[in-house]
């Protein structure tokens, strides 16, 4: 670490605010994207695939799903 404990504590409200804003925005995006994804790919396997592989694209029999 390059910052001292005191420097971190002095900016803790800014750091926590940044993290809270990031969580809020991520939730807002996820709340919009997940229902659309589940409409398009209702299989639990598709959802498990994106969580595991980090992509919603799978190739099955030459067809991208």
Q: Tens digits of per-residue pLDDT, 7-62?
A: 999 999 999 999 999 999 999 999 998 898 888 888 888 777 777 776 556 556 65
Residue carrying structure tokens 């804003």: 21
pLDDT for 60: 63
Residue carrying structure tokens 């670490």: 1
Number of structural domains the chain divides into: 1
pTM of the model: 0.56
Residues 6+ apart with CB under 8 A from 59: 65
Domain that holds residue 27: 5-64
Pairing of strands 63-64, 59-60: antiparallel
Would you give the DSSP letter of residue 3? S
């Amino acid at each position: 670490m390059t910052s001292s404990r005191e420097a971190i504590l002095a900016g803790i409200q800014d750091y926590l605010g940044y993290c809270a804003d990031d969580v809020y925005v991520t939730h807002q995006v996820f709340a919009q994207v997940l229902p659309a994804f589940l409409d398009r790919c209702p299989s639990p396997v598709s959802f498990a695939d994106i969580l595991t592989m980090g992509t919603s694209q799978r190739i099955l029999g030459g067809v991208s799903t």
